[in-house]
Amino acid sequence: MNESRTPARHRPALAAAAAALLLAGCSGGSTGDAGATPSASRGSAVSAERCAQNEAAGTVTYVTGYQFQSSVSILDPVAAEDLGYFDALCLDVEIQPGTGETAQNAQLVAAGTAQLSSIAGASDVLVNVDNGVDVTAVALFGHVPVATLLTGPEVEDLTQLEGATLGHKGALPVTIEAMLRTAGVDVAALEQVQVGYDPTVLTRGQVQALTGYKSNEPLTLRELGEEVVEWNPEEYGVPGSIATTIVDPAFLAEHPTAVQDFLRAQLRAYAHCTERAAECVALAAERSQVGYDTEHNERVWSTETQLVAASQPAGQPLGSIDAATVRAEADFLLGMGQIEAVPDVDALVDEDVVASLYDGGRLVWPAP
């Protein structure tokens, strides 16, 4: 059983209605059914001139947030490749599984080792930029923090964690640290340890608090019948986001159509997978090692797409990123002392990439 010490996050009816609107907005304007797989022939959804431009980009390497988990910005690019959407746009894409460490993904992109990557949220981008990493944010899917902090039911106030052991995956997530500070917790008084991806370290008492994602660890523990409490940053006024796409600025400048069409294919696949989750999860399972839990991953996808739908700003197409939202996160991080200065957000964020993919709120397919 899971509970929350603060008002409930999820509003299923609203999420379902918003999801329906998103599907309508993401359907391809020229092709009708957004889920229809394009022709198997290469370049079937792009002009010859644009095809040549995309091929000139060479292999486009995309690093996922964590392995081939069925999360937003992981499952949709995987499906885009396996359904032939990238090939239809003359893109040669290599998808590499990430380790879950956002700093590593950002560094790979900044170094040009990868051209694009998923990263947890805009706050993670901002912290990496503050540390001298040069990337450009071009897309953002959800407007609520995806991170959560799990404790046992005996914890009734976060300040009770001072002196306790908190487990994380390598670093304390930015939004979780902000929540703890907002709640009056002396973060220096926490014993922080790196743990693996088995959330039962919490219920077995090896740690008293555990960072995780709303779409993963709470689901696993609920499936095991464990009783835990979720502490969520947004309920403490902490802004956040889900699934931000970052790109190497030099690659974006040299190959803008390749970046645009990567996201075009991803957004089309997102609509397909929202309607056909089991099919897409099966595609991710084929890429993974033995032990891929398809039922759990279907719940991961369902949970994250509901979070995305419920937090979508009115009038913004799926994937849109705007400087004002990122600047609000930056101002909050500055106030919390998590970054030393607010970066030039207008230079960090390129709003035009996703905006160019839509016409009247509908994703343009084939490419213009």
**% residues pLDDT > 90 (the chain):** 82
pLDDT band at 158; cut points 50, 70, 90: very high
Q: Which amino acid is at 81?
A: E
3-class DSSP string for 91-112: CEEEEECCECCHHHHHHHHHCC
Contact (Cβ atoms closer than 8 angstroms) between residue 262 and residue 91: yes
- pLDDT for the residue 41: 82
Instruction: Specify the residue for token string 């499936």.
Output: 223
Q: What token pair was written down for 101?
A: 């460490």
CA distance 16 to 148: 22
The 8-class DSSP code of residue 186 comes to -
CA distance 173 to 150: 13
Rounded mean pLDDT, 71-91: 97
Q: What is the mean pLDDT of the chain?
A: 89
Crossing angle, helix 174-182 and helix 323-335, to 10 degrees? 50
Instruction: Specify the residue for token string 């979780």.
Output: 176
Q: What is the pLDDT of residues 205-227, one digit of tens each?
A: 999 999 999 999 999 999 999 99
Q: What token pair was written down for 341?
A: 């200065």
Q: What token pair was written down for 48?
A: 């010859």
CA distance 367 to 118: 23
CA distances from 190 to 119, 166, 213 (A): 26, 7, 20
Q: What token pair was written down for 69?
A: 């988990």
Rounded mean pLDDT, 76-90: 97
Identify the structural domains of the chain with CATH numbers, from first to last.
18-141+241-363 (3.40.190.10), 147-236 (3.40.190.10)
Whether the predicted pLDDT of 22 surpasses 70: no
Length of the chain: 368
Residue 324: strand, helix, or coil: helix
Q: Which helix or strand (DSSP H or E) is residue 141 part of?
A: strand 136-142
Q: What token pair was written down for 261?
A: 């069409």
Contact (Cβ atoms closer than 8 angstroms) between residue 103 and residue 317: no
Q: What is the pLDDT of residues 160-188, one digit of tens each?
A: 999 999 999 888 988 999 999 999 999 99
Q: What token pair was written down for 7?
A: 């008002």
Whether the predicted pLDDT of 27 surpasses 80: no
- pLDDT for the residue 233: 95
- pLDDT for the residue 174: 86
pLDDT band at 23; cut points 50, 70, 90: very low
Rounded mean pLDDT, 279-286: 96
CA distances from 210 to 70, 168, 190 (A): 21, 6, 12
Contact (Cβ atoms closer than 8 angstroms) between residue 57 and residue 260: no
CA distance 73 to 116: 11
